[in-house]
């Protein structure tokens, strides 16, 4: 009975997600409720997390909860520091919610609601999230080495050097484009500029408070 309930539940979630994508895709005219897009995202990410992510973690990456990470085995208080799991989650969530998912859908939205929606749903679940997870776990199992260092060891030093230079150039271009987008967005928005100006020192204070070990992550997050 429990198995049947789970099957029915996930089939219902999948159908709801498909319907939430089809409604804005087939609706004529510009006005579209954002609720459909939110529901589509929640359903797509829930199904992907439950099935695709579980398969990747269990069969491809073969995760082991008992395996110590470099933050524990090489703890030096600088580059390798054991960190609360929710803080790590926040960092990686912010990383995947970077230029790709932000700038891409904005450009795709010029062609309608469907391209931007599919960009986020398919790109994050099959592309961005998988890419980040595999690189992350690959680095963790090699003592926290960078992608370039791993390529140097797995292939040859020349390929590793090419990868390091390429990554540097790619990150420079990404930061330049993202900076341009942010500057243009804030050019005529005093409140946006004020928000960022307040967020930076607030984040520093929150980090120092957590670093002392006397304040919990939940309390700091609530105050922040």
Instruction: For 112-141, write each residue's pLDDT tens digit.
Output: 777 777 877 888 788 877 888 888 888 888
Q: Is residue 39 part of a domain?
A: no
CB 92 within 8 A of CB 136: yes
Q: Is residue 221 part of a domain?
A: yes
Range of the structural domain that residue 203 is part of: 189-224
pLDDT band for position 1 (cuts 50, 70, 90)? low
Q: Is residue 136 part of a domain?
A: no
The count of domains in the chain is 1
Q: Is residue 222 part of a domain?
A: yes
Q: Is residue 209 part of a domain?
A: yes
Q: Is residue 14 part of a domain?
A: no
Q: Is the pTM of the predicted complex or chain greater than 0.85?
A: no
Q: Is residue 139 part of a domain?
A: no
Kindly provide the residue ranges of all beta strands, DSSP E only, lying in 22-69, ordered along the sequence.
none
Nearest CA among 19, 54, 25 for reference residue 40: 19
Q: What is the pLDDT of residues 19-53, one digit of tens each?
A: 888 887 777 766 777 788 888 889 998 999 889 88
Give the Cα separation of 15 and 187 in Å (integer): 42
Give the Cα separation of 106 and 90 in Å (integer): 23
CB 2 within 8 A of CB 35: no
Q: Is residue 224 part of a domain?
A: yes
């Amino acid at each position: 009975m429990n198995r049947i309930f789970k099957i029915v539940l996930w089939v219902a979630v999948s159908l709801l997600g498909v319907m939430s994508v089809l409604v804005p895709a087939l609706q004529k005219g510009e006005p579209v409720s954002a609720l459909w897009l939110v529901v589509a995202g929640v359903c797509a990410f829930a199904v992907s997390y439950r099935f695709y992510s579980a398969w990747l973690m269990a069969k491809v990456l073969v995760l082991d909860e008992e395996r110590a990470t470099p933050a524990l085995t090489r703890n030096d208080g600088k580059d390798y520091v054991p960190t609360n799991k929710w803080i790590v989650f926040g960092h990686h969530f912010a990383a995947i919610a970077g230029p790709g998912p932000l700038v891409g859908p904005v450009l795709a939205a010029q062609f309608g609601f469907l391209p931007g929606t599919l960009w986020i749903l398919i790109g994050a679940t099959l592309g961005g999230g998988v890419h980040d997870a595999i690189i992350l776990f690959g680095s963790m199992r090699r003592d926290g080495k960078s992608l370039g260092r791993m390529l140097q060891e797995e292939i040859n030093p020349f390929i590793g050097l090419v990868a390091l230079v390429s990554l540097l150039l790619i990150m420079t271009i990404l930061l330049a484009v993202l900076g341009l987008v942010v500057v243009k967005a804030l050019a005529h928005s005093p409140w946006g500029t004020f928000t960022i100006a307040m967020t930076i020192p607030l984040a520093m204070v929150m980090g120092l408070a957590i670093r002392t070990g006397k304040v919990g992550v939940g309390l700091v997050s609530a105050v922040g």
